[in-house]
Amino acid sequence: MLVDGYLTTFLSFSILSIVMWIDVLLTTLSLVIISYSFIKRKNWARIYALVFLSWSAFGAIGYIVMTGEKIIRFLLFVMYVLFVMYLLMSTVKRYFGKIPMTIVPSEIMKEYNYGIYTLYSKLVRLKNGKI
């Protein structure tokens, strides 16, 4: 904003300044929310990232249309689209889903033998409801 001379537009009250304020707010929130929530496997963080990336992709298209500068913004647009496609993959959905990420034996108690080693497993329900 400072380099392109948009500071006066940013501080004024217009449609463009409201869009710029939303962009700054989403960007600032995304730095903290997305990184922390991805580690905690929160599905709403994946949805927030999809909204943020979609907003950024439309912003890149709008910037290309308004200014005609295509090189950097087009590369950013392609990057945003690739990130959205990654977040929509089934493996990523499974990572954020409620499905347990462990191999669940078909019986309550089952014994696995490999040479002299024996592995016993038992399903345990945790306090938060996960198995």
With beta carbons less than 8 A apart as the criterion, state whether 92 and 42 touch: no
Whether residue 2 has pLDDT greater than 70: no
User: Distance (Å, rounded) from C-alpha 14 to C-alpha 29?
Assistant: 22
Task: Pick 80 or 23 by higher pLDDT.
Answer: 80
With beta carbons less than 8 A apart as the criterion, state whether 20 and 10 touch: yes
Residues 55-109: pLDDT tens digits? 889 988 988 888 887 888 899 899 999 999 999 998 888 888 765 555 555 555 5
pTM of the model: 0.58
